[in-house]
Amino acid sequence: MRIGYARTSTLDQVAGFEAQERELTAAGAERIYKEQVSSVAARPELERMLTDIRPGDVLVVTKLDRLARSVHHLGEILKHLDNIGAGLNILGMGIDSTTAGGRLMLNVLGSVAQFEREMMLERQREGIDKAKREGKYKGRKPKGQPLLEQILTMKAEGLGDTEIGRRLGIDRATVFRTRKAAETLA
């Protein structure tokens, strides 16, 4: 069975959503899972589709970015599909993972995307190093430092780091690091 998955990021993208449905139907998708949600949010229809897909099925999407939020995420989806014996067809790229050529293209695309990500991180590190040398990079301000007095007062009252964090809206590790830094300076 060919199973379609359509997604748009917002409810305002009605035309894009309808276009995906038309393309998936034209490509022979017998069932279409659809949702209008950001790629970084929880995607219950994607999860349901991945649970429902069976051996021999082919997942069909119009574009890669409608399915996966990153190369790593794509890898997870492909591994899941491989484990159950299902395939992936990306219409906009002409890639079908059930063929040797399609599998090769997915691996090449994944490698190129990973290379681009590593190059971007390298440039980012170089930029941060340059900014530090020029005195322009200060880093992120510590979350706990402005709350130091409150943290120490609550600790003196016998509260634990977890409870202090809950009351101040920060995590336990931040409370601990802030306290330890203050003790080191004292």
Kindly name the residue from 9, 38, 39, 97 that is annotated as catalytic: 9
- Check if 39 is active-site: no
Within 13 Å, how many C-alpha atoms sit on residue 27's CB side?
29
Secondary structure class of 155 (helix, strand, coil): helix
Closest CA to 35 of 56, 53, 17: 17
- Both tokens of 143, joined, read 């979350």
Residue 3: phi and psi, rounded to 5, are -115, 125
Q: For 1-36, give one letter per residue: b (16+ CB within 10 A) or e.
A: ebbbbbbbeeeeeeebbeebbebbeeeebeebbebb
Residues that are catalytic? 9
